Amino acid sequence: MKCVDDFRLRLGKHELVPIMIGGMGVDISTVDLALEAARLGGVGHISDAMVPTVSDRRYDTKFVKNKLKQYKYNVANTDKSDVKFDLGHIEEATRLHVRKAMDAKQGDGLVFINCMEKLTMNAPRETLKIRLKAALDAGIDGITLAAGLHLGSFGLIEDHPRFRDAKFGIIVSSLRALQLFLRKNARTNRLPDYIVVEGPLAGGHLGFGLDDWMDYDLATINAEVIAYLKAEHLEIPVIPAGGIFTGSEATGFLEAGAAAVQVATRFTVSKECGLPDPVKQEYFKAEEKDIEVNGISPTGYPMRMLKNSPGIGSGIRPNCEAYGYILDSNGKCAYVEAYNREVAAHPDAKKIKVYDKTCLCTHMRNFDIWTCGHYTYKLKDTSVRDADGHYQLLSAEHIFKDYQFSKEGRIALPD
């Protein structure tokens, strides 16, 4: 019987353990977590979501404070279109974050950055371009283009000196999305180096409808993508993601032709994960009934999360002047609109509630939206409970090696 370690992921000259830890914003997949994956010979992700606030927290910069100061006059304004990012600051924050990871990297693995197109920042093209460029400048091994179809993203960096040497991957949730990407991108004469096929059981935002995600399954989409690439004679590694909980399940995908697997949920309870420890306990404790896919993300994508996330229903004043990552190219955000509507409907209320949307920037930044994969309710089976009722946090190495070596559906418990 085989295990994941019997396979290798080939990316250019690299031969890797075929385990990729997926990007988890905002700083849930930390530099430390990504470094562990790389040290163990796999691929780890950092995320560039809200990197100025991550930089402030970790590297003692003042990006958010300064931006808020600049736009303070607009805080009470219902119109947020004035709020713009300073591209130089985005560049600096991204470089700091990426350098921190790359300078510390050990082992044969790689560190990639997860870059979500849906973070439109009131200037989608300009801000995305600088994010990609800065990550490449700072030496990132690769970029995974996520959350959005990224039809023009390769074009934004085709003149970068590392455009052909860094690894670029895309995340798709259907064969159709992949075909569209390949067609639109043909002009750059550069194929993706890997394709992550993300099914409906993943954490974070989903590439499926709110009402139909349950009609799809990862194995089927993965097989369709692999068959299509074969028919087109395209040799691009395919990496399924979403709901792969054990080493045996991962091995099953590798035997079915996948080049690696991308996993995330099991690492949310690792010591290296950026979630605060009490939140990690919430993930451990969750039952299946405590997890939902809802429509409160202002990006318009469905998102999976724990139902007791403090950010659900919260009616805080939008913090676009400080953050503003979800503002579209017209300076609009669905949360700002929902908030303004509730304020207008309850003019005398001291505190309002907004149920249909959430201020995603603020709540992700503060770890108050507890996004998670479908199988979060199985995390309690991956650890042991101390006498005080707390579950033991796991090392990323323990989880990684469990994926790498386990057989017969077994999950290794900590010593």
Return residues touching ligand FMN (CB under 6 A). 22-25, 28, 47, 49, 114, 116, 146-147, 171, 198, 201-204, 241-244, 262-265, 268, 371-373, 375
Nearer to ligand FMN, 48 or 91 (CB): 48
Nearer to ligand FMN, 136 or 263 (CB): 263
Helix axes 87-104, 63-70, angle to 10 degrees: 170
Spatial distance between the Cα atoms of 150 and 143, rounded to a whole number of angstroms: 12
Spatial distance between the Cα atoms of 42 and 106, rounded to a whole number of angstroms: 11
Which is it for strands 19-21 and 238-241: parallel, antiparallel or unpaired?
unpaired
CB of 366 to ligand FMN, least distance (A): 14
The type of residue at 388 is D
Nearer to ligand FMN, 44 or 242 (CB): 242
- Residue at token pair 């991308």: 262
Contact indicator for 194, 18 with CB cutoff of 8 Å: no
Nearer to ligand FMN, 265 or 383 (CB): 265
Spatial distance between the Cα atoms of 414 and 45, rounded to a whole number of angstroms: 24
Nearer to ligand FMN, 68 or 379 (CB): 379
CB of 179 to ligand FMN, least distance (A): 20
CB of 48 to ligand FMN, least distance (A): 9
The closest alpha carbon to 412, from 384, 388, 370, belongs to 384
Partner residues linked to 262 by β-bridges: 20, 241
Nearer to ligand FMN, 141 or 339 (CB): 141
Task: Using CB atoms within 10 Å of the CB of residue 376, give its burial: 0 to 12 exposed, 13 to 18 middle, 19+ buried.
Answer: buried
CB of 376 to ligand FMN, least distance (A): 8
Residue 347 burial (CB count, 10 A): 7
CB of 263 to ligand FMN, least distance (A): 4
Nearer to ligand FMN, 203 or 324 (CB): 203
CB of 266 to ligand FMN, least distance (A): 6
Spatial distance between the Cα atoms of 4 and 400, rounded to a whole number of angstroms: 11
CB of 334 to ligand FMN, least distance (A): 18
Nearer to ligand FMN, 82 or 282 (CB): 282
Which is it for strands 9-11 and 14-16: parallel, antiparallel or unpaired?
antiparallel
State how far the alpha carbon of 111 is from the alpha carbons of 39, 307, 336, in Å.
10, 32, 35
Report angle CA 116, 160, 258 to the nearest 5 degrees: 50
CB of 26 to ligand FMN, least distance (A): 7
